[in-house]
Amino acid sequence: MKDQILLPEGTYYKANLHCHTTLSDGHLTPQQVKEEYQKQGYSIIAYTDHRKYVHHTELDDENFLSLAALEVDVTEEPTENREWPVLKCYHLNLFDTNPAQEKPADLLPKFQYGDLEGLNRYIQQMRESGFLVCYNHAYWSLQDWRDYSGLKGLFAMEIYNHGCEHDGLYGFNPQVYDEMLRAGQRLYALSTDDNHDTRPIGDPLNDSFGGFVQIAAKELTYPAVMEALQVGRFYWSQGPQILGLSIEGGALKVKTSPVEKIFVTVEGRNSYKAVVAPGESLTEATFPLSGKEGWFRIQVRDSRGLFAGSNAYFIDQL
């Protein structure tokens, strides 16, 4: 492994990559979403309204960037004895890397639930059309390893979904990410809101401002943000910050905001860790790497019980 910077110190842009507005089943307009999120330090919103592709360029300015996107879905067919609350579903976010590229007239999936080959063909078609495809909220979707281990071509999965956390503590899915990695998939992890704002801002059950990614883009422009997303130069969070991640002299160096735990999860069951007693905090740690980890990812937890983490890094690519 050569010395390298995995996550740089410096400027990051805070982003919510899963958002619903009054154009689908959300309760805030796109403009209201921009205003509320900017108050909380966000610079980027992917407007992922259900089955509706929109690029809100009218909202863009030097301090705010909208990403063209949508959320699509495929659900099991109901039967007399099985209706919506127990039906499995796939929800996918599609992020447009190049809105200027011509798109298919119909972006919605046409395959039936259970047709894995059809699903993977659809993912490939969306990639060829310029989209990054994210697999959303596996736990809320009532899915397990059998449903997601065979997916191909994904850009990312949702490791945390704030709306699902409010729905039933279904939001945090690190095991799903690890299972996908251990099944041979190479993909990133996102923390999102999936906000619908059915409760007012400030209500304990309002679903905004709980899951975000910090993107180390070179500037706040569409090409720069997409470049950073595509190469994985970002981290996911519920609150804590990762302030730097690098490999130096065969060791992994981590810098964070004050946290109680810094863990390095690897392909096998043996993790590396640095922890402190309750009431204490740490902001950095160094972990020697053997080169046999397969892959590793960082996960930290602060005194509030909130997590943040990196994407997985593969030893054979370092």
Please, which residues bridge with residue 285 across strands?
254
109 and 219 share one domain: yes
Domain closes at, from 196, 214, 238: 238
158 and 273 share one domain: no
Q: 165 phi and psi, to 5 degrees?
A: -60, -40
* pLDDT value, residue 154: 99
Percentage of the chain surpassing pLDDT 70?
100
Domain closes at, from 170, 205, 238: 238
Number of other CB atoms surrounding residue 29 within 10 Å: 12
Q: Is the Cβ–Cβ distance between 311 and 232 less than 8 Å?
A: yes
Q: Quick one: pLDDT band at residue 109, thresholds 50, 70, 90? A: very high
Give mean pLDDT, residues 244-266: 98
Q: Quick one: pLDDT band at residue 247, thresholds 50, 70, 90? A: very high
Give mean pLDDT, residues 106-123: 96
223 and 256 share one domain: no
* pLDDT value, residue 304: 97
* pLDDT value, residue 195: 99
* pLDDT value, residue 24: 98
216 and 260 share one domain: no
* Residue 294 belongs to some domain of the structure: yes
Per the structure, the complete domain to which residue 148 belongs is given by: 10-238
Q: Which of 79, 17, 73, 7 is nearest to 43 (CA)?
A: 17
Give mean pLDDT, residues 130-156: 98
Please, which residues bridge with residue 96 across strands?
131
191 and 47 share one domain: yes
Q: Does the predicted TM-score (pTM) go above 0.85? A: yes
pLDDT in tens, 270-304: 999 999 999 999 999 999 999 999 999 999 999 99
* pLDDT value, residue 225: 99
Q: Quick one: pLDDT band at residue 118, thresholds 50, 70, 90? A: very high
* pLDDT value, residue 251: 98
Q: What is the CATH number of the domain that holds 214?
A: 3.20.20.140
131 and 217 share one domain: yes
212 and 126 share one domain: yes
* pLDDT value, residue 124: 98
pLDDT in tens, 173-187: 999 999 999 999 999
* pLDDT value, residue 30: 99
* pLDDT value, residue 305: 97
Give mean pLDDT, residues 157-182: 98
Per the structure, the count of domains in the chain is 2
Q: What is the CATH number of the domain that holds 261?
A: 2.60.40
**Residue 91 burial (10 A CB sphere; 0-12, 13-18, 19+):** buried
* pLDDT value, residue 66: 99
168 and 294 share one domain: no
DSSP line for the chain: ---EEEE-SS--EEEE--B--TTTT-SS-HHHHHHHHHHTT--EEEE--BT--B--GGG-BTTBEEEEEEEEEEEPPP-SS--GGG--EEEEEEEES-TTS---S--S--SPTT-HHHHHHHHHHHHHTTEEEEE--TTTTT--HHHHTT--S-SEEEEEEHHHHHHHS--B-HHHHHHHHHTT---EEEEE--B---SPTTSTT--SSS-EEEE--SSSSHHHHHHHHHHT-EEEESS--EEEEEEETTEEEEEEEEESEEEEEESSS--EEEE--TT--EEEEEEE--S--SEEEEEEE-TTS-EEEEPPEEGGG-
DSSP line for 122-189: HHHHHHHTTEEEEE--TTTTT--HHHHTT--S-SEEEEEEHHHHHHHS--B-HHHHHHHHHTT---EE
217 and 255 share one domain: no
Give mean pLDDT, residues 155-182: 98
C-alpha span between 4 and 24 (Å, rounded): 43
28 and 154 share one domain: yes
